[in-house]
């Protein structure tokens, strides 16, 4: 990084102010007056370089103002904290939603959510990746509301070439309305991993070799919404939305897309780009510890798995369930 070669002439007593995270960073012209460091001074330079690197990474973190568009609901979508946080609301007239400006083809997407508290029956909060068209691909988190005191249902699904029907549902090991928690999607050419607070809850592997389509070609945007689905969301539609509790509000923050941006028919990721460091998602798989955590979640918190639903598939379970 250039900051490790050149810095402005400055002693330990210099009075330059520390840049806030929102301040633009600039580097000196290599032809300007510079000072070479060695020994103790070089150590100071390394520290400055590390701090500068941290500022750069922070300055490029996701911002809802910059990175997203409101798709529906108008003023029911509120941007807070300079775009670092966003809320969606639902009332009897309408819900609300947003999507990213950019499309991605593989990546790791992280979002922190705090769900509708209290009696959220009939409401659905969504966070998902999706392409467009009748043969679209999609990777879903859907949070199905419930009566006060009952657990939320976390509904996951994977669509490939317009076909879904791959639902797995969970209850969570915490109350998702009390604080923010991180929900992540790792999507690379070999697998999709769903993570909650970095704990894997589901893995969907690439099964193209056995005839199961996998999302490898269609770029997807990130979408989120809050809407009314009381015809099915809570106890199969038996419990309806209590509009006296409206507006219902869900909160989002810490959006981060460490992903390959797809634009103009091309990906921003070189074909042989490194999978080290922050790009570990490109080859990420579950190690022994990850597999054990996945088993713990599925053993204790899974409440529905399409791969065990023989009544739904009387002619045989889907191919990926038996391989």
Q: Read off the pLDDT of residues 166-191 as tens digits, 9 standing for 90 and up.
A: 999 999 999 999 999 999 999 999 99
**Of 18-32, 177-191, 240-254, 308-322, minimum mean pLDDT range:** 18-32
**30: pLDDT strictly greater than 60:** no
**Cis status, amide bond into 64, omega within 30 of 0:** no
The confidence score (pLDDT) of residue 62 equals 83
164, two tokens: 């879904």
Domains located in the chain, CATH noted? 64-263+279-318 (2.60.120.200)
Q: Using one digit for the tens of pLDDT, what is the confidence trace for 266-315?
A: 999 976 666 776 789 999 999 999 999 999 999 999 999 999 999 999 99
Catalytic residue among 33, 58, 138, 320: 138
Catalytic residue among 58, 103, 142, 208: 142
The confidence score (pLDDT) of residue 279 equals 87
Report the chain's mean pLDDT, rounded to a whole number.
85
138 is a catalytic site residue = yes
Give backbone dihedrals phi and psi of 97, rounded to 5 degrees, phi first: -170, 165
| CB half-sphere exposure, 185, CA atoms < 13 A | 28
142 is a catalytic site residue = yes
Averaged pLDDT, 138-157: 96
166, two tokens: 């791959």
The confidence score (pLDDT) of residue 185 equals 98
């Amino acid at each position: 990084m250039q900051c490790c070669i050149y810095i402005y002439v400055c002693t330990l007593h210099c009075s330059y102010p520390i840049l806030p995270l929102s301040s633009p960073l600039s580097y000196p012209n290599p032809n300007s007056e510079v000072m070479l460091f060695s020994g103790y001074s070089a150590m100071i330079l390394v520290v400055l370089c590390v701090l500068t690197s941290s500022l750069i990474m922070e300055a490029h973190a996701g911002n809802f103002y910059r990175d997203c568009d409101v798709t529906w609901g108008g003023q029911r979508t509120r941007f807070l904290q300079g775009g670092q946080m966003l809320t969606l609301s639902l009332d009897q007239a309408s819900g609300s939603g947003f999507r990213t400006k950019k499309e991605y083809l593989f990546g790791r997407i992280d979002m922190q959510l705090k769900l509708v508290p209290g009696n959220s029956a009939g409401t659905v909060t969504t966070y998902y990746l999706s392409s467009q068209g009748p043969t679209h691909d999609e990777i879903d988190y859907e949070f199905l509301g419930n009566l006060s005191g009952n657990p939320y249902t976390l509904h996951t699904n994977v669509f490939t070439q317009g076909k879904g029907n791959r639902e797995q549902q969970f209850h969570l090991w915490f109350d998702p309305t009390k604080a923010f928690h991180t929900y992540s999607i790792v999507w690379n050419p070999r697998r999709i991993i769903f993570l909650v607070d970095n704990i894997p809850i589901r893995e969907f592997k690439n099964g193209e070799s056995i005839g199961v389509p996998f999302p490898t070609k269609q770029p997807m945007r990130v979408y989120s919404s809050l809407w009314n689905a009381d015809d099915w969301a809570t106890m199969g539609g038996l419990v309806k939305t209590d509009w006296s509790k409206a507006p219902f509000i869900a909160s989002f923050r810490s959006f981060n897309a460490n992903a390959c941006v797809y634009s103009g028919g091309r990906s921003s990721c070189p074909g042989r780009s490194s999978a080290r460091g922050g790009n570990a998602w490109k080859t990420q798989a579950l190690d022994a510890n990850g597999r054990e955590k996945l088993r713990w979640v599925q053993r204790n918190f899974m409440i529905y798995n399409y791969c065990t639903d023989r009544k739904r598939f009387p002619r045989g379970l889907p191919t990926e369930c038996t391989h």
